[in-house]
Structure 1
């Protein structure tokens, strides 16, 4: 599984993601290893709220998408779905900004995985952090 991810490094999701939502978000995979993903996204105008900053719901969606990808790197049968998603928004990202998302599986049990995520701006400042518990289903 991880070899499939490595073939996508440097490519925009709109061209390679199996997820319709992931294709719309259109991040670029920067790095992938078992239990870890690093991606970048450009904050597009359609991501913004009326103040011109990234909408929290869009950031939560990006987090959820990348966390899901991260569980997929484990190469397990089935499909992980979020049981919860806890997000702390710490700084704003403006339209046009490049953001970087890093995720890591902290624990992968037989049925539940716990994943943490951080979003950074181009200067490396922490914009948001999140954690999620995901349930392994029989869906493939």
Structure 2
């Protein structure tokens, strides 16, 4: 569908502050997102902090849920992560989201994040499709 990645972190907030997330549609039920690891993403051991990985997956997979639901606002109900490998400064990490099922009110998906060499994390989650307009969410919504 979309060959080019677009920056989705356009409003002030956590992900924009941390370098942003690039996103693209691959097909009706498959999406990709990516980010480059920099020094403020690291933990004391010098590898990417698990909290940043979780936030990145939440942002990328949440955007996929938003897109598959016709751009309705969506919120995370559950997100289960498995940390498999590590990444370091300069690594470009790519997330792939597969939409498993979409109902009128829920989106079920799985996600995998990889560096060029190996898998970093995998996740599965459920997002709630909200029946409100983004403007009803207040500032930043």
Q: In which range does the TM-score fall when normalised by the shorter chain?
A: 0.7 to 0.9
- What stretches of structure 1 of length at least 5 have no aligned partner? none
Whether 1:133 and 2:126 are equivalent positions in the alignment is: yes
RMSD: 2.3
Give the drift of 1:21: 3.4
How much does 1:70 deviate? Answer: 0.3
| Correspondence for 1:55 | 49
Distance 1:134 1:42, change over 3 A: same
Give CA deviations for 1:56-97 in whole Å, capped at 9, x if unaligned: 111000000001110122243631111111000000111221
When normalised by structure 1's length, the TM-score is: 0.81
SS in structure 1 at match of 2:68: coil
Q: For structure 2, which runs of at least 5 residues remain unmatched after alignment?
A: 134-141
TM-aligned CA distance change 1:96 to 1:106, over 3 Å = same
Tell me the equivalent position of 2:98. Answer: 104
Residue 20 of structure 1 corresponds to 13
Name whichever structure is richer in helix by fraction.
1
SS in 2 for 1:119: strand
Aligned residues: 132
**Map of 1:33 onto structure 2:** 27
Change (3 A) 1:77 1:83: same
